[in-house]
Chains A and B, each alone.
Chain A
């Protein structure tokens, strides 16, 4: 009698903790997740942050406004151009500088190219996370063309630092327009391939449909933004609601999906590729002539006050908040990074699922850890 009771007890499962990361390929960086699991069912996910904290916000208080720009490259490095743009827009708005149309259009084109490059990388890694290695190479192949465009015009492939308060560091390279057109024509034939290879794949669909569901209400209450929120049907595209640079001159659709699962978030990003291509096509043929930079003082002093600007990076809404006391450094600088809020919803999405589902869910959050830690 007693023997069979012990036997029964020994089959009862017990909750236990397991570390995922900080050095785990699926966390895409040094993020540590403390998982409470029962068998393979996830009970709780606690993200542990700070492994790549470099105190960028504090460093900004020491730097001049020109110097701040290059630090934002190192936050969300896959949207570096858009981060730079956010800081420059904040400073320009505070100074009430009139920016030439040429600068606005070039900024928007490069911003959308950045978004495509970021989504290409994400698509490759997404496939790899759910077990399809080939996508990684195809995603990187197409991203490589964009990186070449950046290298020729901006001088760097990733941390571009092409924006300066008042405009752009240099004018575009003479080859820029031709290269961008080549890329758009090339990439239009590749998105259908992406769909054939991964989107339609039965294994991929089984791994992603109905996994990591986030309802619209939860998306709003967790403060998620970008493709994650739009995958839950929450319309929040900053490019639509608060257009900046040349985005008020173009027409594009905000991509929304209703389901809120991993597959919906995946689809949002794939469909966003088409929208970005359409924005680039509308602008690339009519880049206005003019200056690529307006002169600012060598020492930029913002007027006393508080300034805020938000932009849509590839991951969601990035806010830049500057408190100035009228000196050449900000008194306080705060970044509202999209990754941090998106990560906060992970526990809610993953509980009750399997560990494999957690990896798939995390892949569509598209986390960049330096953006979360800053």
Chain B
């Protein structure tokens, strides 16, 4: 007798499980979480805080807020940021001041820890939402974040 009840119970548990999968099969359009990437590129919006890469925003006058204090370079755990700096006369104040020549960012080494952005006293760098960073050559991931010809926004002091 227990032989048959075993078979019966076995089939019952299988059918209970199948009722779940069957329910999802019939309602497959509801609650689907897959996204049609990359077809949805135009509408895809990442969250504001998403850490894709470090960027340096420039305003319309091609000015940024980086004073070249190098705090981010010291805070970075793996040498991702290299600041090549120089001294020069500031055209607004007339003082001899430190300024950045190149803000080199090696995206290939960045662990997205956020310490650089956290320490920056002038909020000169922030998170960018771009995540499509696959390239054929690693050197393409080394970027200079300050745009050519850009300079420090007047009034920014660290």
* Interface residue ranges, A against B (CB under 8 Å): 63, 66-67, 69-71, 134, 141, 144, 151-156, 159, 161, 164, 169-170, 173, 193, 196-198, 200-203, 298
Mask, B20-46, CB within 8 Å of A = 1, is 110000000001010000000000001
Asked if B127 and A201 sit within 8 Å, CB to CB, the answer is: no
Bound-complex Cα distance A82 to B111 (A): 19
Bound-complex Cα distance A164 to B118 (A): 10
Asked if B113 and A155 sit within 8 Å, CB to CB, the answer is: no
Bound-complex Cα distance A201 to B12 (A): 9
Q: How many of chain B's residues have a CB under 8 angstroms from any CB in A?
A: 27
* Interface residue ranges, B against A (CB under 8 Å): 9-10, 13-14, 16-17, 19-21, 31, 33, 46-51, 75, 77, 111-115, 118-119, 127
Asked if B17 and A201 sit within 8 Å, CB to CB, the answer is: yes
Among B33, B49, B77, B118, the residue within 8 A (CB) of A152 is: B49
Among A153, A169, A298, the residue within 8 A (CB) of B114 is: A169
Bound-complex Cα distance A60 to B111 (A): 15
Give the nearest-CB partner of A198 in chain B: B17
Given A164-B118, A193-B20, A201-B17, residue A155 in contact with residue B49 (CB < 8 A): yes
Among B21, B47, B51, B77, the residue within 8 A (CB) of A197 is: B21
27 contacts between A and B (CB under 8 A): A63-B77, A66-B75, A67-B75, A70-B77, A70-B111, A70-B113, A70-B115, A151-B49, A151-B50, A152-B48, A153-B49, A155-B112, A156-B50, A156-B112, A161-B112, A161-B113, A161-B114, A169-B114, A169-B118, A193-B20, A196-B16, A196-B17, A197-B17, A197-B21, A200-B17, A201-B13, A298-B119
Which of A152, A155, A159, A164 gathers most chain B CB within 10 Å?
Answer: A155
**Nearest CB on A from B76, distance (A):** 8
Among A144, A151, A193, the residue within 8 A (CB) of B33 is: A144
Bound-complex Cα distance A156 to B46 (A): 11
**Nearest CB on A from B13, distance (A):** 5
* Further contacts, 9 of them, CB under 8 A, given A141-B31, A196-B19: A70-B111, A70-B113, A151-B47, A156-B50, A159-B112, A161-B114, A164-B118, A202-B13, A202-B14
Asked if A134 and B21 sit within 8 Å, CB to CB, the answer is: yes
> Chain A residues near B115 (CB, 8 Å)?
66-67, 70
> Chain B residues near A193 (CB, 8 Å)?
20
> Chain B residues near A202 (CB, 8 Å)?
9-10, 13-14
> Chain B residues near A144 (CB, 8 Å)?
33
> Chain B residues near A203 (CB, 8 Å)?
14
Give the nearest-CB partner of B51 in chain A: A155
Given A70-B115, A169-B114, residue A155 in contact with residue B14 (CB < 8 A): no
Bound-complex Cα distance A67 to B51 (A): 17
> Chain B residues near A198 (CB, 8 Å)?
17
Bound-complex Cα distance A89 to B119 (A): 21
Among B10, B20, B33, B50, the residue within 8 A (CB) of A155 is: B50
> Chain B residues near A161 (CB, 8 Å)?
112-114
> Chain B residues near A196 (CB, 8 Å)?
16-17, 19-20
> Chain B residues near A173 (CB, 8 Å)?
49
> Chain B residues near A66 (CB, 8 Å)?
75, 115
> Chain A residues near B111 (CB, 8 Å)?
70, 159
> Chain B residues near A201 (CB, 8 Å)?
13-14, 17
> Chain A residues near B77 (CB, 8 Å)?
63, 67, 70-71
Among B49, B75, B118, the residue within 8 A (CB) of A154 is: B49
Q: Which 6 A-B pairs have the closest CB atoms?
A: A70-B113, A67-B77, A155-B49, A202-B10, A155-B51, A202-B13
Asked if B114 and A197 sit within 8 Å, CB to CB, the answer is: no
Bound-complex Cα distance A152 to B49 (A): 6
